[in-house]
């Protein structure tokens, strides 16, 4: 299955004088091309293998970005609403997007050689993000790679709930693409059926501890 590619798949289909948008994905019987493409690239350019493996700078980037978010949270306590919202959009959203990408890389164990170390760093990167998702994200994302394009399994494909409004209204498309975590929870039947794990429970506990710490700092600052 695929959403279709190229300009043709994005254009409205003409029917008489009226333009009608597509109401469904394009379904194809071919196997997804990424696995075969990877083998072809490695065969033609085996030197690419030298680029595989953990990136040492990831931990420092995550540390700096989380420090930026915590520092901005403290710095903006007394700011006016317009200035505060501008900081949230320009600085906060950009930093959180960077942390989302870091958690993605850590789900592939590209921060450290040890799997557990990647999970611990992912939990730390998750601190400025409202939802503690870093541990439960990995199994969904691995299914996305293993079953890419398979409707009902690949969690990066919108369900019927998400597909209809996104194809009909630009504002709904923006809302859906801006809330990927809500999409995982609301649209995928297995999202709330994942068995709990040690790292999952630890992630929730760490996120709650961090939230409590920030709340205490806010109260302390308000009383002085």
Q: How many domains does the chain have?
A: 1
Q: State pLDDT tens for residues 8-33.
A: 333 434 444 444 455 566 777 777 77
Between CA 174 and CA 179 the distance in angstroms is 9
Residue 76 confidence class, pLDDT cut points 50, 70, 90: very high
Q: Measuring CA to CA, which residue among 150, 154, 141, 162 is closest to residue 28?
A: 150
C-beta neighbour count of 32 within 10 angstroms:
17
Place of tokens 């302390």: 220
pTM: 0.69
For residue 137, is it within any domain?
yes
Q: Is the pLDDT of residue 147 over 90?
A: no
Distances (CA, A) of 48 to 39, 53, 166, 182: 11, 11, 38, 36
For residue 11, is it within any domain?
no
Residue 69 confidence class, pLDDT cut points 50, 70, 90: very high
CA dihedral of 209, 213, 215, 218, whole degrees rounded to 10: -170
Per-residue pLDDT at 18: 42
For residue 42, is it within any domain?
no
The single-letter DSSP state of residue 157 is S
For residue 181, is it within any domain?
no
For residue 102, is it within any domain?
yes
> What range defines the domain where residue 116 resides?
54-155+191-222
Q: Is the pLDDT of residue 95 over 50?
A: yes
String of b and e for 42-73 (b: at least 16 CB within 10 Å)?
eeeeeeeeeeeebeeebbebbeebbebbbebb
Q: Calculate Rg over the CA atoms of the chain.
A: 21
Q: Is the pLDDT of residue 200 over 90?
A: no
Averaged pLDDT, 166-170: 57
């Amino acid at each position: 299955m695929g959403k279709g590619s190229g300009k043709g798949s994005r254009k409205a289909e003409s029917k008489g004088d009226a333009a009608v948008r597509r109401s469904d994905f394009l379904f194809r019987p071919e196997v997804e091309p990424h696995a075969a493409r990877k083998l072809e690239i490695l065969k033609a350019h085996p030197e690419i293998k030298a680029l595989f493996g953990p990136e040492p700078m990831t931990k420092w980037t995550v540390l700096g970005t989380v420090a930026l978010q915590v520092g901005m949270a403290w710095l903006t306590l007394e700011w006016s609403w317009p200035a505060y919202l501008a900081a949230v959009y320009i600085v906060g959203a950009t930093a959180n997007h960077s942390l989302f990408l870091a958690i993605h890389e850590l789900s592939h164990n590209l921060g450290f050689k040890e799997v557990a170390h990647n999970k611990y760093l992912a939990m730390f990167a998750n601190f400025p993000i409202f939802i503690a998702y870093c541990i439960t994200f990995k199994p969904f994302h691995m299914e996305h790679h293993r079953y890419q394009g398979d409707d009902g399994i690949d969690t990066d494909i919108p369900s019927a709930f998400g597909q209809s409004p996104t194809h009909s209204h630009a504002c709904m498309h923006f809302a859906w693409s801006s809330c990927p975590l809500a999409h995982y929870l609301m649209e995928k039947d297995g999202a709330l059926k994942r068995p709990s794990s040690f790292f999952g429970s630890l992630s929730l506990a760490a996120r709650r501890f961090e939230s409590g710490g920030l709340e205490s700092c806010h109260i302390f600052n308000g009383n002085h």
